[in-house]
Structures are given as C-alpha cells and as structure tokens.
Amino acid sequence: MNDWSLYIHYPFCRTRCGYCGFATSIYDHSTEVAYLSALKQELANYLSDNSAWSGDISTIYFGGGTPSLMHPSEVDQILQVISSYRNITETAEITVETNPQTVTVQSLKQLRQTGVNRLSIGIQSFRPNLLTLLNRTHTAEGGMSAVESARSAGFENISLDLMYGLPTQTLEDIAESVVRAVGLGIDHLSTYALTIEPGTPFERKIKNRQLSSPDPDITADHYAVICEIMNQQGFTHYELTNFARGDKFSQHNLVYWRRTPYLGIGCSSHSFNGLDRFWNTRSTSDYIKQIQAGQMVVEGTETLTDENVLSETVYLSLRTFDGVSRQYAEQKCSITAIKELNADGFLEERSGRWHIPEHHWLLLDEIALKILQV
C-alpha cells in the first residue's frame, strides 16, 4: 500500500450543540480514560499486522466531538503508538479539531510540541445571537482569542469553521463573520450549511414550530456572499465549501475527495481501503466493551461495485477544483448529458477536465445525477 491516512474519533464534548448529529456524548473523565485505552488498543490491533495498512501515513486527523478536551499528553501517547508501528512522513499534516473554550496558549504550545501542526477551530459564527441559537459556549471574542492563542503557540496552519443558512441569519451576519475570520489571518475556511439531522434538538424544535426550517434560497444567497468575499480576499475555492490561502488545502479532506485509502479509529469512524468501506459501532459504551472483550468493533462493510466507484468518482471529483477527467467522464458517463450541460454553462472544460463553474457548484447533486444517467 502507498501512503494512507488515519482518522481518530474522540466523541466527547462539554455540551451538545442543538444541530449536531455526530456520534458524541457529554464528557466524563472515567469514560474518557476507558475510551482512550480502547482506542489505543484498536490502533495496535490494526497496525501490529504488518501485512495490512503497510505504507507510510501522510495525514492524521483527530475529529469529534471535541478532541481538544484531551490533554496534550494523551495526543502524544496516541501519536507514539502510531509511530511505534508505522512511519509518519516528515511532511505529514496532523490536525486536531478544537473549540475556543477548550484551549489556552499553554495547552496549544504543548499540543504543538507533540507534532500536531494544524488546527481546525469551530467558531461557527461571530454573532452572539447565533452562537446562543447553536448552543455554542464560547463568545465571539473567545473565538478571536483562540486564533490569536494558536498563532502565539506556533501554529502556522489554522482553519476556522463557519455555518450558514441558519434561522434568523442575515446576509450581513454571514458577511461579517467571514470578514472577521479572514481578518484574523487564517489559512483555511470550512463552511457548513445547516442541515437538520434526525433526533437532534433542532429537528424537534422544527416539528414543534419553535424553529424555522432552513430556506434553500436564503442558504444559496449566503453561499454566494461567502464565495464573493473569499475570492476578493485571494483564497482558492478548492472544494465546494472549503477555501484555502495559498497551498494550505486540507490534505486530509482531499484524501476523502480523491478516494485514497484511510483508516478510521474509534466509535462511529469510517474507513476505505480502496475496495471496501467499513465502519465502527456508533455507541461509545459498546465500543469500549467490545474492545475490552477482544471483539471486533466493525459494524458494517460495503464492497463497492463498479457503479459505486463510478458515481463516487464523478461526484467527489466535481466537488473539488480537480474536476473529473474528460476522458474518464466521456467513456463512463452520458456524453449527451455532458454536451448539454456544457452548452448550458453548467460544465466547463479546463486542461482536459470537466468542472462545475463556481456559481453553479450548489447544483452538484443534480449535475452529477444527470451525467450518471447512462
């Protein structure tokens, strides 16, 4: 196997956000201790087998949850377990997701010393009313302070998360948040349209008419404002909802979009070995119990068909600045649909690859579906 990537899931948060549908639970120290022990055991289970996942590791991503709740020494121990079995490349991108209220200059300096070289900070908004709506526990000032602390700690690759399409959120709201984010000298911006996940407080509030559903037209307007500002600021719009200054693309996320192998460790994590996708049990408690009992924690596996590979390749390629190879698309997909979409301005060719123009990128699903209807 060539270089591959590693995702590590940390499921704990101080509080649960109303929109969140991820596999998370409220922080409890004793549960965290048991979970991290199980996580390191799962890592050892995979990596002690020299015939599997045998190449070098080029990216490591600690996601969650709120991984910055971990003491830096725990991150260091996990990285030591990894490096005791596999080589982590010298240029490896190692990212930790953080929330502003969980970091200090001191903790970030310690985190930087472990080898972590990229931070993803969950700001979501710089508007106090929207932070309250989202049940975020930090303030706008706390978000700005977290970025300043990260710079002081020596991080030179900092990404922020912002949300758009929120109830009551105005164009001015999203514009202000984007401008303030860029003004902090960030290297990367990830943006997320609000989606209503099953079983979340937001879903219940919508059903009880306490909250309005996201409006697709307003969401599209928000997206257009984000694109306009980020283009003006010289960022590369390299993926549907991601922007980078210079070459500071998220190397780990590019792994997903380019369909290269990655191994997921921890509850609810997903993996892809080039042929199959498989995923772990979602429950934190079940994950711990199964690892302690020496059982497999893989809950499901999917072997990709040729049709799966085609649809994934087209969809994921078109959502990035890579685009899809013209030769590949015209061999595998509907040439008639491609020509029609090109004539109507929904596809454009650049350097032998088909791309969706930025102002049509939100139509990705419809465009990909039309191309794939052979």
10-residue stretch averages of pLDDT, the chain, 374 residues long: 92 86 86 98 92 92 96 98 96 97 96 98 96 92 96 98 96 97 97 91 88 92 97 98 97 97 97 96 97 96 96 97 96 96 97 96 96 86
Q: What is the pLDDT of residue 374?
A: 64
Q: What is the pLDDT of residue 200?
A: 87
CA distances from 98 to 10, 17, 199, 229 (A): 11, 14, 24, 25
Same domain membership, residue 363 and residue 237: no
Query: How far is residue 75's CA from residue 89's CA, in Å, rounded to a whole number?
Result: 17
Measured in degrees and rounded to the nearest 5, phi and psi for residue 358 equal -55, -40
Same domain membership, residue 164 and residue 105: yes
Contact 61, 264 (CB under 8 A): no
Same domain membership, residue 145 and residue 77: yes
Q: Does some domain include residue 292?
A: no
Residue 171, domain extent: 4-257
- 110: helix, strand or coil: helix
Domain boundary among 257, 286, 315: 257
Same domain membership, residue 322 and residue 198: no
Q: Does some domain include residue 264?
A: no
User: Comparing C-alpha atoms, which of 128, 123, 71, 133 is closest to residue 100?
Assistant: 123
Query: How far is residue 165's CA from residue 222's CA, in Å, rounded to a whole number?
Result: 7
Same domain membership, residue 144 and residue 20: yes
Structure tokens belonging to residue 116: 């972590």
Q: Does some domain include residue 276?
A: no
Q: What is the pLDDT of residue 20?
A: 80
Q: Does some domain include residue 287?
A: no
Q: Does some domain include residue 85?
A: yes
Same domain membership, residue 314 and residue 250: no
Helices (H) and strands (E) in the chain, counts: 14, 17
Pairing of strands 118-124, 276-280: unpaired
| Residue corresponding to tokens 């809950």 | 299
Q: What is the pLDDT of residue 369?
A: 96
Q: Does some domain include residue 297?
A: no
Return all residues near 63 (Cβ < 8 A) that are at least 6 apart.
7, 8, 9, 10, 97
User: Comparing C-alpha atoms, which of 277, 309, 273 is closest to residue 1?
Assistant: 273
Residues linked to residue 264 through DSSP beta bridges, in sequence order: 7
Same domain membership, residue 314 and residue 233: no
Domain boundary among 257, 289, 315: 257
Contact 45, 266 (CB under 8 A): no
Total of domains in the chain: 2
Query: How far is residue 198's CA from residue 188's CA, in Å, rounded to a whole number?
Result: 29
DSSP character at residue 154: T
Q: Does some domain include residue 230?
A: yes
Same domain membership, residue 343 and residue 253: no
pTM of full prediction above 0.85: yes
Same domain membership, residue 210 and residue 314: no
Same domain membership, residue 314 and residue 173: no
Q: Does some domain include residue 270?
A: no
Q: What is the pLDDT of residue 199?
A: 86
Same domain membership, residue 348 and residue 226: no
Domain boundary among 223, 240, 257: 257
Same domain membership, residue 353 and residue 243: no
Query: How far is residue 259's CA from residue 324's CA, in Å, rounded to a whole number?
Result: 13
Q: What is the pLDDT of residue 51?
A: 78
**List of long-range contacts for 78-85, beta carbons under 8 Å, 24+ apart:** 78/8, 78/36, 78/39, 78/40, 78/43, 79/114, 79/115, 81/40, 81/43, 81/44, 81/47, 82/6, 82/43, 82/47, 82/57, 85/43, 85/44, 85/47, 85/48
